[in-house]
Amino acid sequence: MAKTDFGPPDYRRMLPPIVVENYGKWRYHTIPRPGVLEHVSETGALLTSVRVASPRLVSTDFVRDICDIADKYCNGYVRFTTRHNLEFLVSDRDKVDPLLEELAAKRYLVGGVGHAISNVVHTQGWIHCKSAVTDASGVVKAVMDELHDYYTGRRTLPARLRIAVACCVNMCGACHCSDIAIVGIHRKLPEIDHEMASKTCEIRSTVASCPTGAIRPDPKLKSIAISDEKCMYCGNCAAVCPAINTMDPETDGVSIWVGGKVSNARTTPELSRLAIPYLPNNPPRWPEVTEAVTNLVQVWAARAKPGERMGEWIDRIGWERFFDVTGITFSDKHIDDFSHATTTFRTTMQFRL
């Protein structure tokens, strides 16, 4: 029997010596240029971190390439960030410029630090997910081909901007607290293969899986029936019963959400709110999505005060003006009708006309 439950490699064996020596002793940091952090320790040590964009979905060749670079400049150590960037940690100051030159020559993008767009957290999409409404990697690529100047710092932003993509409303990767979230959506009732349902589906758990009580047993067919008045296309039933199909290439689409954040800085963490309920799912370049996201970034960048995140900006100017200045049409789709709906209805005279 092979051994089990031995756990991940001990992180202490993965740390560069400068990190071991200064662990818990870091004093402050500066951002000398876009994509570069300099951390200074109370010991006087200086560590330069160079952040690089990754597609996240990578080949072993890609990993070996970055290992070669890390061997050359970082004594054989490299790390990744929570947003899937690479980080080259350089303890020898003389190696920083040559590293940056090599990265530039090899067309790696350095950036994602401070008031910038960092890498886009995203899900598997058509690459590996059974419930993907849209592709995730492709949307990221299309959007960031437009916006990479905000990653590299060639164009500046008032504050950091976090974009995330989820290929369905499961929102793996928790894009629900992003400045801009791009989410694949269904818009019609799932289809039921009654023949298959009668054989493979556990009726009771399928009925129980529905958060709005839209599913009831259909004893005649030994299957289930879904109410079109109650179903809001979450897809939870499809995860329980394989005879339920939520996919519909004709009507599925992409939605855009704004104003979320997880940081507690200044204002409290916030969920992202619906900005655009539907855009067509249009590979390979998703022009409607790319245009909508670019518009949001540009309008915010032009109008926000220094240091103001997307949600803080909207909070200051009000949602009525947000829809006005972004040119997005407000509709009944924006009005919540789920669990916490009434908490979002306006109860004050403090609004703008």
Please give the residues from 131 up to 190 whose contact with other proteins meets the rule CB under 8 A: 131-132, 135, 137-138, 140-142, 144-145, 148, 166, 169-177
Q: Does the protein bind other proteins through residue 128 (CB under 8 A)?
A: yes
In the complex with other proteins, which residue's Cβ is closer, 16 or 35? 16
Among the candidate windows 47-55, 90-98, 189-197, 320-328, which touches other proteins by CB under 8 A? Answer: 47-55
Q: Does the protein bind other proteins through residue 10 (CB under 8 A)?
A: yes
Site string for other proteins, 105-124 (x = CB under 8 A): --xxx-----------x-xx
Site for other proteins in 61-100 (CB under 8 A): 61-64, 67-68, 70-71, 76-82, 84, 89
Among the candidate windows 24-32, 187-195, 323-331, 344-352, which touches other proteins by CB under 8 A? Answer: 24-32
What does the alpha-carbon distance between residue 295 and residue 319 come to, in Å, rounded to a whole number? 16
In what order do the strands lie in the sheet containing 46-52?
26-33, 36-41, 46-52, 86-90
Which residues sit opposite 39 in a β-bridge? 29, 47
3: tokens are 């051994």
Q: How far is the CB of 175 from other proteins (least distance, A)?
A: 8
CA 321 vs. chain centroid, Å, equals: 25
Q: Is there a contact between 301 and 179 (Cβ–Cβ < 8 Å)?
A: no
Q: Does the protein bind other proteins through residue 2 (CB under 8 A)?
A: yes
Site string for other proteins, 268-287 (x = CB under 8 A): -xxx---------x-xxx--
Query: What is the C-alpha end-to-end distance of the chain, expressed in Å?
Result: 72
Site string for other proteins, 227-266 (x = CB under 8 A): -------xxx-xxx-x----x-x--x-------x-xxxxx
Q: Does the protein bind other proteins through residue 13 (CB under 8 A)?
A: yes
Spatial neighbors of 119 by CB under 8 A, at least 6 apart, are 53, 54, 56, 81, 83, 84, 85, 112, 151
Half-sphere exposure for 240 (CA within 13 Å, toward CB): 17
- Residue type for 37, please? L
Residue 326, classed as helix, strand or coil, is: helix
How many residues at the interface with other proteins, by CB under 8 A? 118
Q: Is there a contact between 26 and 40 (Cβ–Cβ < 8 Å)?
A: yes
In the complex with other proteins, which residue's Cβ is closer, 2 or 302? 2
Q: Is there a contact between 105 and 71 (Cβ–Cβ < 8 Å)?
A: no
Q: How far is the CB of 352 from other proteins (least distance, A)?
A: 21
Among the candidate windows 60-68, 222-230, 314-322, 342-350, which touches other proteins by CB under 8 A? Answer: 60-68
Among the candidate windows 23-31, 95-103, 187-195, 291-299, which touches other proteins by CB under 8 A? Answer: 23-31
Q: Does the protein bind other proteins through residue 14 (CB under 8 A)?
A: yes
Q: How far is the CB of 311 from other proteins (least distance, A)?
A: 13
What does the alpha-carbon distance between residue 330 and residue 275 come to, in Å, rounded to a whole number? 8
180-185 and 223-226: which strand pairing? unpaired
120: tokens are 């886009």
Spatial neighbors of 195 by CB under 8 A, at least 6 apart, are 243
Among the candidate windows 101-109, 185-193, 318-326, 344-352, which touches other proteins by CB under 8 A? Answer: 101-109
